[in-house]
Structure 1
């Protein structure tokens, strides 16, 4: 049985861009959010082999440390011609300095090395809600599109090189509302994180915030 989230939650991230998106998604539901980074919590080792496993590791670590429900995302870019890489290693490709311009350059370098012309890719987001007693809720979202030469300075991570299907602009050229805003009338969002959040909200959040 699904469990409802109310009150205060820890967003288990030290990533400022991801934190901003999560706070914006949660805000209409009256959920008070504090991040693991703001609380000074250490980042746990992400030893999972799937996005869902790594999201669960982060959420349970934060819930255990704070005795509060915790909300974690693990997400990444999967490139078809690179056999799904960088995938769960998306952040690690950017290195300790979080150099995503270098990570994007690496993607194109790897494609060139392979002689690959296929530019299909997709983003994956696994969202996990974890409670201190071990209860867990998992939701996943995906958005498919094409790799292009990086354009735009909005968003974060690999956003500038990803053009979602049916759109002419990259995530890096879209406003925050365009990228991860949710139309609750249709129950649709564009980004992988927004799509996962729609399912989470239906099951675990009070409906009053859906406008």
Structure 2
């Protein structure tokens, strides 16, 4: 069964492929040209649904199974920022590095070296059978000096609860068991297996 991802973010594609190895997983840009999707919902769930619905409609294949993820980091000291704006915190075309730098500078500007924070991942699945959403969370602290080159996004400044290393320093396998996206994908996989069963009855 083929799952079409409503993203072309290489980091996300790699992570989702690894977690959903029972399925054929392809980014939508392998099937149609990339197009802009306006993500204007006030929360992760709403934005995940906007992306999945847009790609499902654009594919023009009623049997398609589209999965999208909207995720980000919320920092307590910053009143929950950047939240849904995590991917564009430092501007629309900001790089991971620029977003990371802005976050660390914002925490530093509060006179802090760290702050409690959490990651949220919302995953939406859109099919002819309907729409489903699931969530995963990961709690910890952000620091103001980046450490480690593994991962992407804000990983070098996030230390998960119970660890003394950042996500940028932790081994991929360890991260897999902790990550907000892994937790959401575990639940998404249960939904996908149910769809598969129903379609093959």
Shorter-chain TM range is 0.7 to 0.9
- Choose from 12, 25, 38 the match for 2:30: 38
How large is the RMSD of aligned CA atoms in angstroms? Answer: 1.7
Q: Which residue of 2 aligns with 1:142?
A: 137
Q: Which residue of 1 aligns with 2:192?
A: 204
What is the distance in 2 between the residues matched to 1:110 and 1:201?
Answer: 36
* Offset at residue 117 of structure 1 (A): 5.7
- Write the deviation string for residues 126-184 of structure 1: whole angstroms up to 9, x where unpaired: 011111x371111001000011221111111111100100112111112322212xxxx
Q: Displaced runs of 4+ in structure 1, greater than 6 A? A: none
1:26 and 2:48 are equivalent in the alignment? no
In 1, are the aligned partners of 2:96 and 2:154 still within 8 Å (CA)? yes
Q: Which residue of 2 aligns with 1:12?
A: 6
Unaligned stretches of 5+ residues in structure 1: 1-6, 181-188, 207-211
- What SS does structure 1 have at the residue aligned with 2:102? helix
In 1, are the aligned partners of 2:134 and 2:187 still within 8 Å (CA)? yes
What is the distance in 2 between the residues matched to 1:150 and 1:50?
Answer: 27
- What SS does structure 2 have at the residue aligned with 1:119? strand
TM-score normalised to structure 2 length: 0.87
